[in-house]
Amino acid sequence: MKVTYIASSNTATNGDALGSSGQDVRLFKLFVGLPTDGSTVTAYSITNPVNGATTNIAFKLTQPTAAAGKDWVREVNFGPQGLPLNEGGNIIIDGTNNVTAMWDLADNSQS
């Protein structure tokens, strides 16, 4: 199991790739250590998406705001087979969320 930690917004660098281009990965869990109002965490099925891209999105979490009751999400579990991300996958966050991603290279025999 591999772990990637993203401390703060990485929109200026178009995110953090999880694997290398051409390597499929599986995202198993996301932990949000410091959720912030209205911030987003987006997982892409591509190694290098452009910030704000609306294609190749595999998962997107938008944290609520105070008006919505602040029922923040602190953990997302994609189950034992994980969320498949093609071409290395990438995570872009737009706030100081302290996101930790648990992932590994895909064993596509699980599909």
Q: How far, rounded to the nearest angstrom, does the alpha carbon of residue 51 sit from its chain's CA centroid?
A: 13
Quote the pLDDT of residue 109: 47
On the 0-12 / 13-18 / 19+ scale of CB atoms within 10 A, 30 is: buried
**What is the pLDDT confidence band of residue 108, given thresholds at 50, 70 and 90?**
low
- At which residue do the structure tokens 């209205």 appear? 38
The CATH number of the structural domain formed by 2-110 is 2.60.120
pLDDT in tens, 13-62: 989 999 888 889 999 999 999 888 889 999 999 988 988 889 999 999 99
Which is more confidently placed, 65 or 11?
11
Rounded percentage of the chain residues whose pLDDT exceeds 70: 95
The pTM for the full model equals 0.88
Q: How confident is the model at residue 93 (pLDDT cuts 50, 70, 90)?
A: very high
d(CA 71, CA 90): 26
